[in-house]
Each structure stands twice: as C-alpha cells, then as structure tokens.
C-alpha cells in the first residue's frame, strides 16, 4: 500500500515533532549511561539503539534511516533503510540520519565526548532524499565557524579548501578570525593515520587539541560560540560527516569533505561500483551533504563534550543536557531536563513496553500493569454474566 503524506507546511511539522526527536536522544542517553566506563561499547550502543527505537515507536511519522551507523564498525546499530515511527497513512515523511552514540569508545572508557544525535529532514519537492549517502567509509574533513564563512563571503572568494595545505588553511583561518597563527585552536582525532597531519599543525605553530573519539562534536565545535575551537581537520566516518553537516548548517558554519578510501582495495571496490577518479576529488560542502532548509538537528550529551555536558546522576534525579536546532531559522535551544528516577520510564523496542530506570519506578509500573490486567479480566467476566437486556426490552 502506498503511503500518502500530509500536506501540512513543513515548518509546522517541525515545530510539532522536534521535541519528540529530543526525547529519542534523551532516551538513548539515559539507557546507555549505566555502561559508562565499563568497557563494553557494543552493549552501550545496543542499549541506546533499543531506547531510540522504542521512542520512535510512539511517534506519528514515516521515518526512513538514510544515514545510519553500524556498517563501519560492525556495531549493533540503526541501519540505512530501516523504518522508524508508526508509519500510519497520512503521517509526515522524514529522512533520518542517526547515531545513537557518537563516541562509543569514549563511553566504554568513561571518557569525554560522547553524545546521542539525530538529524531529520523532509525532502524538498523533486528531491529523492535530503541527505547525501556517501559510499566510502571515511572522509577527509575541514570544519569552520560562521565568522570564517562571513569572511569568505565578504572577500567574494572561497579561499579555504579541504584540498589546501595545512599551513595555507591555518593561516587563512587566522586572518579571518583576526588571530595570530599560534592562537588558532585546531582539533584533530588521535589516530595513526593523522601522524603527518599532526606534525604539520605543530610545525605551523597552531594550538593543537587531540581527541580520542567523537568527531561529530569535534566538527561542530568551531561553529559553537564558546567552544574555544577554531578549526577541525582530519579523517573520520562518512555518516558522521553528514550528521555534523546538518548541525553545522543550523549554526551557520560550514564543512568541506572529500571521500577518503582506506586502501587500494576499497578504492577499487568504489570504482567497480561506478565511481570515477573525479568523484574522489569532489569537495562536498555542508549543503551538499544535508540539502535544503527544513533540517532539524538534536543531540543529548552522554559524557561531557564541547557541545553538551553529559548525563548527571544526583541521587534519584538524573539531569540531561540537549540541544535542538533548526536550519531554517538557525534557532538553537539548549534544554536542561530533570528526570525523577522513581517515576521515569523508557519504552524499549526489545520488549515493546515501558521500563523503569529505578527499582521504585519499575515496581510501580509493574503494579499498574497488573492492576490494569485485573480490571480487564473483571470487566470481561461481568460481561459474560450480564443478561441480554435487548431481548428483555423487546419482550416488554
């Protein structure tokens, strides 16, 4: 059966549904926080996915995952092509890019820089999808903030390119921000593949900050006004590039990326799939990866990052910090939520029901379910004993 979608204005749909997306990232963060520092990144990811799927089971959308996780690292992820939402005929259609945990290694180690995030967008008329699916596992990325974008617009030339040398890039950013080169703060992921890049940043004299994981947050950091980060450079996951592009568009910054095959075998595999040498040199900007203006980005912190504080447990209260952004208006909302563990529940896809996050909440929930079951049983029993009043009335 072909699904028909409502013709409600997109901006109205965004306002109605945007907080449901936040609830999904909150649920993922809350259900995975018990795995922080326990060395089990797959189990943490599984918990986050279960809670996120469970939340979407309550949301009236036709959501299709166009950018998912799990392919690159064989994680128990939410995958491309998966349907989320209730898919009731007439529900609005959304393309979804999802990473239940960006920074699974960090959460396993109890380290900073792990978030749960979603980008959602409605494709414009004539578009198949609102987010670009990149066939390579990795991309070389360059991300910078709104001041650098404004500087290039003022000059009338895009003088910054991911294909430039590191020295040229840092000097251009320093000029745009009216900073000395040594005051430009550059974030790079600590990976063996970045050995040459790290040496180049140091030789230029810029301030280097190395992170272990979580490149969505790192790529967005230069666009955040108080992050203290000016530039993000390096190779990271292609799905994460799309998610970061959606968030960066909402913040007014930009991202440039090119496909980065890991080895000759992957390059040949991509060529066999129909790519050409020209495709490998194509520069994707944020607007190429996340198309149009009707884009929502939201995230909830799991452990502390430049974007958001992590989950904070205070006795029987848990505090979460989330961000909700829209590309059209560039409105950025930071949401601080207090959850009472004695009453808070999360719906999990694996069981198809609500679960308490605290023994008191779980016990109360099970009592309520038992009470409802008894009422249904009693009601059915009374129905069996009731006389046929319709027949009696006819007799009178």
For residues 101 and 298, the answer to whether their CB atoms sit within 8 Å is no
Q: Which of 264, 259, 257, 250 is nearest to 292 (CA)?
A: 250
CA proximity to 213, closest of 101, 69, 103, 73: 103
Residue 389 has pLDDT above 70, yes or no: no
Among the ranges given (199-203, 206-210, 357-361, 375-379), the one the predictor scored with the smallest mean pLDDT: 375-379
Q: Which residue has the higher pLDDT, 334 or 365?
A: 334
Query: What DSSP element (H or E) covers 114?
Result: strand 114-121
**Predicted confidence (pLDDT) per residue in 47-98, tens digit:** 999 999 999 999 999 999 999 864 444 557 899 999 999 999 999 999 999 9
CA 104, 107, 112, 118 torsion: positive or negative?
positive
255: enclosing H helix or E strand: strand 254-259
What secondary structure, in 3-state letters, does 301-327 show? EEECCCCCCCCEEECCEEEEEEEEEEC
107, pLDDT greater than 60: yes
Predicted pLDDT at 304? 96
- Residue 42's pLDDT is what? 93
DSSP string, 52-113: HHHHHTTS--EEEEEE-SSTTT--S---TT-EES---TBPPEEEEEEEEEE-HHHHHHT-S-
The pLDDT tens digits of the residues spanning 9-43 come to: 555 778 889 999 999 999 999 999 999 999 999 99
């Amino acid at each position: 059966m072909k699904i028909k979608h409502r013709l409600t204005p997109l901006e109205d749909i965004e306002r109605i549904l945007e907080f449901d997306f936040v609830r999904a990232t909150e649920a993922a963060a809350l259900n995975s926080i018990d795995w922080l520092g326990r060395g089990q990144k797959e189990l943490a990811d599984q918990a986050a996915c279960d809670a996120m799927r469970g939340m979407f089971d309550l949301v009236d959308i036709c959501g299709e995952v166009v950018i998912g996780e799990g392919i690159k690292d064989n994680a128990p992820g939410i995958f491309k092509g998966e349907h989320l939402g209730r898919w009731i005929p007439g529900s609005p259609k959304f393309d979804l890019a999802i990473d239940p945990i960006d920074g699974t290694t960090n959460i396993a180690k109890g380290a900073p820089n792990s978030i749960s995030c979603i980008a959602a967008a409605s494709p414009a008329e004539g578009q198949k999808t609102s987010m670009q699916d990149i066939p390579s596992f990795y991309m070389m990325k360059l991300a910078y903030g709104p001041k650098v974008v404004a500087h290039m617009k003022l000059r009338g030339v895009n003088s910054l390119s991911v294909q430039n040398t590191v020295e040229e890039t840092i000097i251009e950013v320093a000029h745009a921000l009216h900073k000395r080169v040594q005051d430009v703060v550059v974030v790079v992921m600590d990976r063996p593949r970045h050995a040459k890049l790290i040496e180049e940043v140091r030789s230029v004299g810029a301030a280097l900050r190395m992170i272990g994981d979580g490149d969505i947050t790192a790529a967005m950091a230069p666009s955040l006004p108080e992050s203290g980060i000016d530039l993000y450079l390096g190779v990271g996951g292609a799905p994460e590039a799309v998610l970061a592009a959606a968030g960066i568009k909402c913040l007014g910054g930009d991202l440039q990326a090119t496909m980065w095959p890991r080895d000759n075998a992957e390059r040949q595999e991509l060529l066999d799939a129909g790519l050409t040498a020209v495709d490998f040199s194509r520069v994707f900007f944020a607007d190429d990866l996340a198309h149009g203006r009707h884009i929502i980005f939201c995230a909830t912190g799991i452990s502390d990052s430049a974007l958001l504080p992590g989950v904070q447990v205070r006795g029987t209260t848990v505090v979460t910090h989330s961000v909700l952004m829209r590309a059209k208006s560039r409105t950025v909302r930071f949401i601080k939520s207090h959850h009472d563990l004695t009453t808070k529940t999360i719906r999990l896809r694996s069981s198809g029901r609500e679960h308490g996050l605290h023994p008191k909440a779980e016990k109360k929930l099970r009592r309520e379910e038992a009470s409802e079951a008894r009422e249904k049983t009693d009601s059915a029993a009374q129905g069996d004993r009731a006389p046929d009043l319709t027949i009696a009335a006819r007799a009178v």
